[in-house]
Structure 1
Amino acid sequence: MRLVYCLVYYLCIPLILLRQLWRARFDRRHLARLPERFGFVRPLTGEHQQLWIHTVSVGEFLGALPLIQRLLARENCELIVTSMTLTGSERIRHALGDRVQHFYMPYDLPGAVRRFIRRVDPDLLVIMETELWPNTLAACRELGVPSLLVNARLSERSARGYARLPGFTAEMLSDLSRAAVQQRADAERFHALGLAQDKTQVTGNIKFDIEIGGELRSQAAVLKSQWSVGGRRLIWMVASTHAGEDEIILETLTKLRRAGIDAGRLLLALVPRHPERFERVAALIAERGFTLERRSGGATPPPGVDVLLGDTMGEMKLLFGASDIVFMGGSLVDVGGHNFIEPAVWARPLLSGPVLHNFTEVSKLLIEAGALQVVQGSEDLATALQALVEDESLRLAGGRAALQVAEANRGALDRTLGVIDSMLQP
């Protein structure tokens, strides 16, 4: 079965490269460092333990950042951090600079992966969340590199997909050394697919261990004061939207304006998930007749501006702190939602659409606590927002409930570090 997988993957390489070429029409960086994708990286030699941490894109990297920072504080540890996407790569470089060795993850081809492993010589591969690649795991096992899946989650939907190829999935999971999973339900799904029970440990979700420093809180407070015009205007942040969602959000804003909630009372801060969509969303805002200010311009939106377009990278935490109400995207289209934990730590009342299969357990906790309202479309969303805009006590109660959920679920980071330490012991 793995032979069939390799054949299919090889056949897909031309399509993958064509996609990169297409993207390079707009941004030449999509073609930069292409040899890394085939494992051609500079050889590394180190005196200390070398940990290879893979975070597929921005979301996984930000989730792993507290873990990475704790490991970097150790004198005997050097880190190799890989990603698959341009945005993930840029975020790693911006956040960590030369404190880590950073490369693109090689394509999951036997030769490319073995070449990469031999050149970077890791003592342990740590994979964030769900990024399982058969040839990568097999190469690690063959070359004596243990592999650990951390903050592991497996939704019912994903489990059904893996179950369609039971032999292939079981063989892949047999190459995985260990999994530190978020919830008992995740562990049970992994076990059902063939992962041995003695390879799993429930450690919780390390994203709950996020820290917001004093400097960031101060910056957010200043920004919030500016955007809110001294507290006279609320900020409704819509984070990480995908194609098809922006139209629903703007339709909701139209309903709110018709209900008498004008730009002087509510500013929409709209942040698309992918930077290549910034211009399209800006055009869509203009088509709908709304006035627009860009975050990249640095100016404070005047009271008459309807929408602030979040067209910068690496500012999501700051923008959550500057907001009053947060809607998480990826939930009105078939994406599965995005991370609610960061706005919860900022004590913000939360809204989302109904498609939440990527964050089933977290969303369940927040819904049960009264911190998250799930809406079906623009009509529901407009109703929920109008209530939050008009009732400060409702906003405060939702925010407090969100923060309580976040604080009650801390501790996963220490448990995950314990698993890593146990695997690094000779």
Structure 2
Amino acid sequence: MYWFYNICLVAYWILQIPVLIYRLIFEEGFYDRLKQSAGVMPTPTLEKIAYRNAIWIHAASVGEIVAASPIARELKRRYPNEMVVVSVVTATGHRMAQRIIPEADGHIFFPFDLPVITSRIVRIVSPKVIILVETELWPNFLRFAWNQKIPVMMMNGRISDRSMKRYLLINRYTSRMLTQINRFCMQSAVDARYIISMGAKKDRVTVTGNTKYDQIYAEVTEEEKKELRREFHFEDTYPVLVAGSTHGGEEEILLHTFKKVCAKYPKARMILAVREITRAPAVKFLVRRAGFSVIRRTEMKNTEEDLSPQVLILSLIPL
């Protein structure tokens, strides 16, 4: 079965070549990200984490990084001399990891799940244990860890109804992967039941809740709130709606609702934080088409556009 997966994976990346070229030209920082995912780490990172038997935490993107933060923080508190490496898939996840998991000794991009690349990076990191946040199941990565006798744990495990239906289609393959994971810490009893039905051994499954609720967020003072309002050119007298981590298709619903809000509160404002920052230009076009004035936060200092827009798009994760 692995040979079929690898053929499909190679075919996928061949088909992605035009997209990769486009992103290399137009997306800032994509070259460095692509190079890391292809197995070539920056020299400073390599010198810091190579062959140090790190605790490797893998979290795909922003949501998983938020869930991973309390885990990394507690590990460094209990085992201050252990090296912790955090890997991500997306650029936004990488920036978020650097921001909210400063305790980690290294932040890297997860390697493409091709045997030669995966084996190279796993050998370099040489982890003593691997922690997968939520449901990051990469066949070659898990297989190589299993062959190297590296313990693997799933933390904050979650299986949606939609994912469950997909996994059941390849249940024979999925159950084999799950035997390579030593412990499953699931968010709820439903998630535990799902992972067991997918092939996980019952005695390896525990319900531990959602680690996102263990996250410690900084409090925002009244003065900081006033400073943000000044920066965004928002007045104190009207309501501000905040929509965070929006996906494609959700902005249309939000804009339709915002029209109703504006009918009652004409000076209302909305802040949109899109989940994928690369979608910001498209979302800006969508907002304009809906009839609202709009600006991206990154454009506010160098623009002649309306500096008191009805909709503000957050298109940058500050560090």
What TM-score do you get using the length of structure 2 for normalisation?
0.86
Which residue of 235, 239, 244 corresponds with 1:234?
A: 239
Matched, 1:260 2:264: yes
Greater shift, 182-191 or 105-114, is seen at 105-114
Q: CA deviation at 1:209?
A: 1.1
Q: Which runs of 5+ in 1 are unaligned?
A: 316-426
Partner of 2:127: 122
Which residue of 308, 311, 315 corresponds with 2:315?
A: 311
Which residue of 110, 114, 117 corresponds with 2:115?
A: 110
Q: What whole-Å deviation, never above 9, does each CA across 1:354-387 have from its counterpart, x for those lacking one?
A: xxxxxxxxxxxxxxxxxxxxxxxxxxxxxxxxxx
Counterpart Cα distance in 1 of 2:214 and 2:318: 19
Do 1:21 and 1:30's aligned partners in 2 also have CA atoms closer than 8 Å? no
Matched, 1:284 2:290: no
SS at match of 1:25: helix
Change (3 A) 1:184 1:248: closer
Which residue of 51, 57, 62 corresponds with 1:58?
A: 62
Do 1:238 and 1:271's aligned partners in 2 also have CA atoms closer than 8 Å? yes
Counterpart Cα distance in 2 of 1:307 and 1:132: 38
Change (3 A) 1:113 1:293: closer
Change (3 A) 1:146 1:100: same
SS at match of 2:107: strand
Q: CA deviation at 1:28?
A: 4.1
Q: What whole-Å deviation, never above 9, does each CA across 1:33-68 have from its counterpart, x for those lacking one?
A: 434323344364566x51011111122112211222
Greater shift, 35-44 or 137-146, is seen at 35-44
Q: For 1:92-171, what aligned pairs fall within 5 Å after superposition?
A: 92-96=97-101, 99-171=104-176
Counterpart Cα distance in 2 of 1:59 and 1:155: 15
The residue type equivalent to 2:21 in the other structure is L
Matched, 1:22 2:22: yes
Q: Count how many residue pairs are aligned between Structure 1 and Structure 2.
A: 308
Q: CA deviation at 1:107?
A: 1.2
Q: CA deviation at 1:220?
A: 5.0
Q: CA deviation at 1:93?
A: 3.2
SS at match of 1:77: coil
Q: CA deviation at 1:281?
A: 2.1
Q: What whole-Å deviation, never above 9, does each CA across 1:171-206 have from its counterpart, x for those lacking one?
A: 111111111111111111111111101111111100
Matched, 1:187 2:192: yes
Q: For 1:22-421, what aligned pairs fall within 5 Å after superposition?
A: 22-41=22-41, 42=46, 44-45=49-50, 50-73=54-77, 74-96=79-101, 99-214=104-219, 216-217=220-221, 220-223=224-227, 226=230, 229-230=235-236, 232-257=237-262, 259-263=263-267, 266-296=268-298, 297=300, 305-314=309-318
Do 1:20 and 1:31's aligned partners in 2 also have CA atoms closer than 8 Å? no
The residue type equivalent to 2:97 in the other structure is I
Counterpart Cα distance in 1 of 2:157 and 2:223: 33
SS at match of 2:29: helix
Matched, 1:9 2:9: yes
Change (3 A) 1:213 1:37: closer
Counterpart Cα distance in 2 of 1:46 and 1:121: 5
Q: What whole-Å deviation, never above 9, does each CA across 1:112-160 have from its counterpart, x for those lacking one?
A: 2111111111001111101111111111010111111100011222111
The residue type equivalent to 1:54 in the other structure is H
Do 2:33 and 2:91's aligned partners in 1 also have CA atoms closer than 8 Å? no
Q: Which runs of 5+ in 2 are unaligned?
A: none
The residue type equivalent to 1:146 in the other structure is P
Do 1:21 and 1:31's aligned partners in 2 also have CA atoms closer than 8 Å? no
Aligned-residue identity in percent = 27
SS at match of 2:83: strand
Greater shift, 90-99 or 4-13, is seen at 90-99
Do 2:293 and 2:306's aligned partners in 1 also have CA atoms closer than 8 Å? no
Change (3 A) 1:303 1:92: closer
Counterpart Cα distance in 2 of 1:76 and 1:158: 38
The residue type equivalent to 1:195 in the other structure is A
Q: CA deviation at 1:96?
A: 4.7
The residue type equivalent to 2:110 in the other structure is M
SS at match of 2:315: coil
Change (3 A) 1:67 1:219: farther
Superposed CA RMSD: 2.7
SS at match of 2:270: strand
Change (3 A) 1:129 1:218: farther
The residue type equivalent to 1:111 in the other structure is V
Counterpart Cα distance in 2 of 1:224 and 1:28: 27
